[in-house]
Amino acid sequence: MDLDLEDRTIKRSDTTTIKLAVGEPDATMIPYDLLSKATHELFNDKISTQQSTHWVYAEDEGNPDLRHHIVNFLHHTCRIATLSYENIFITNGVSAILDQLCTMFLRAGDTVLVECPSYLYALSIFRDHHLHIISYETDDDGMIIDSKFITDVLERAKPKMIYVVPTFQNPSGFTMSHHRRELLVQLSLKYHFLIVADEVYHFLDYSKKEPNGNGHHYNEKLVEHPKSFAAYHAAGTVIALQSFSKLLTPSLRLGFACASHEHVNAMARYGLIHSGGGASAFTSGIVDRILVQGSLKRFIDEKLCVEYSKRMNVMYDELMRTFGEQYITCRRPTGGYFLWVKFNDTAIDCDQLLVIAQKHGVSFKPGRLFAHDPESKARLANCLRLCIAIADCDQLREGCLRLKQAFEEYKNVVLY
């Protein structure tokens, strides 16, 4: 059985452990003021209460205002000029739409190709649908699809879907290169598979920022990340998924998919949507106000990227200082939530290390959780994932220290 000690009930009640296992923002990163102001406006706006858009079942594709404003947001942030609101389908978050896509487009026994390592709960969703999961090798530029092995796999396994987290990947932090994105789209056209690109961390990009002198204010740099998979919607084989969970708060349960009109229509024609209406009309109204006032972009740039960038640097520096290259290999991601640590000694078992780490008051996610088959799990056994969003800089330093203490005990008790 997988050692997933992140039981949510235990997680909330334990206040002493530094929970670097948890992929959530801490309370200081949730914009209560923006959410409260937008909610207040929604209740007090006469037009909004008369129009009743936010108080009844939403249109099947989702709130039309929100769809329009998402398009503006993507024009502005990702410079995608080709999108129209008809390419946007509002969802209850990435998890919900992933499950819907599996129901709609796949059948038990169909093959899905995933990155090794991959987002652990996407694997759970694929298992629930009894899909045949193949973990495919990655490097610093994402899935290694520019090798002859990919054609072997595509011809032999005939995947119906390839699931990727292309930018600031969970768990490993890598970003798929532009070249591989283009190639993946070409391959999807040739081999007729669906690309589901889970882009929940796309906007948490710290590379566009550089300190302007005092270390607190940041300037836009002219560095463009590989483009969002939303830019490939016209290919007809790509569905790019976004979520407000990492940008505002997970409790909104709101996100959106960018895809061809045909895919948007198909997603809207789903029985569950017909019955319950499009994704939450109420939270759509709240998020729409935050978007249209430009507050989301400001919050991402001025709060999330500034603070998370600082945390990422602190955690990376602290890891390298306490463990050093002698013990670990780790790259510093330029965005997202996670640091992926690989112990150089392949005998180290991070499931066992976690048991000791929890006694020392720190948690992490052991590498095995991020793969499906036994062989891939074995390859990730000496790896672990740390989250920088859930703790402030001081807690991250302390967490790192506790991890080192746990590692020393592990070496003495288990290894030697």
Ligand X SMILES: Cc1ncc(COP(=O)(O)O)c(C=O)c1O
C-beta separation of 110 from 164 below 8 A: no
| Residues contacting residue 360 through CB under 8 Å, at least 6 positions apart | 402, 403, 405, 406, 409
Distance CA 333, CA 176 (A): 12
245 binds ligand X (CB under 6 A): yes
Give the range of 93-101, 155-163, 213-221, 282-290 binding ligand X by CB under 6 A: 93-101
Of 46-54, 80-88, 174-182, 242-250, which segment contacts ligand X by CB under 6 A?
Answer: 242-250
Nearer to ligand X, 48 or 170 (CB): 170
Binding mask 312-341 for ligand X (x = CB under 6 A): ------------------------------
Chain mean position to CA 213: 31
State the DSSP string of 290-352. Answer: HHHTTHHHHHIIIIIHHHHHHHHHHHHHHHHHHT-TTTEEE---SBSSEEEEEESSTT--HHH
* Minimum CB distance to ligand X, residue 287 (Å): 12
Least distance between ligand X and beta carbon 272 (Å) = 16
Q: Is residue 200 part of the contact set for ligand X (CB under 6 A)?
A: yes
Contact status: 95 vs ligand X (CB under 6 A)? yes
125 versus 381: smaller Cβ distance to ligand X: 125
Q: Name the residue whose CB lies closest to ligand X.
A: 93
Report the amino acid identity of residue 294: G
Query: Are the CB atoms for 88 and 241 separated by under 8 Å?
Result: no
Stretch that binds ligand X, among 43-51, 87-95, 282-290, 363-371 (CB under 6 A): 87-95
Q: Is 119 in the site for ligand X (CB under 6 A)?
A: yes
Choose the binding region for ligand X from 57-65, 89-97, 156-164, 209-217 (rule: CB under 6 A).
89-97
Nearer to ligand X, 124 or 405 (CB): 124
Helix (H, G, I), strand (E, B) or coil at 280: coil
Stretch that binds ligand X, among 107-115, 184-192, 243-251, 390-398 (CB under 6 A): 243-251
41 CB-contact burial (10 Å; exposed 0-12 / middle 13-18 / buried 19+): middle
Instruction: Print the binding letters for residues 254-273 with ligand X: x by CB under 6 A, - otherwise.
Output: -x------------------
Helix (H, G, I), strand (E, B) or coil at 190: helix
CA-CA distance, 131 to 125, in Å (whole number)?
9
Are 245 and 57 contacting, i.e. CB atoms less than 8 angstroms apart?
A: no
Per DSSP, helices labelled H in 144-227 are: 148-157, 178-191
* Closer Cβ to ligand X, 205 or 349, answer by number: 205
Q: Which stretch binds ligand X (CB under 6 A): 7-15, 92-100, 186-194, 393-401?
A: 92-100
User: Is residue 198 involved in binding ligand X (CB under 6 A)?
Assistant: yes
Verify binding: residue 175, ligand X, rule CB under 6 A.
Answer: no
Choices 91-99, 139-147, 188-196, 344-352 (CB under 6 A): range interacting with ligand X: 91-99
Residue 199 engages ligand X in binding (rule: CB under 6 A): no
Instruction: Assess 100 for contact with ligand X (CB under 6 A).
Output: no
Smallest Cα–Cα separation from 29: which of 306, 242, 339, 303? 303
Q: Is 11 in the site for ligand X (CB under 6 A)?
A: no
Long-range contacts of 342-350 (CB under 8 A, 24+ apart): 342/367, 342/382, 342/383, 343/382, 343/383, 345/382, 345/415, 346/381, 346/382, 347/382, 347/415, 348/381, 348/382, 348/410, 348/415, 349/381, 349/382, 349/414, 350/381, 350/382, 350/383, 350/384
Q: How far apart are CA 186 and CA 195, in angstroms?
A: 11
Q: How far is the CB of 336 from ligand X (least distance, A)?
A: 9
Q: Smallest distance, Å, CB 327 to ligand X?
A: 27
Among 165, 281, 305, 369, binds ligand X (CB under 6 A): 165
Amino acid at 99: D
Which residues in this chain contact ligand X in the complex, by CB under 6 A? 23, 93-95, 119, 165, 170, 198, 200, 243, 245, 250, 255
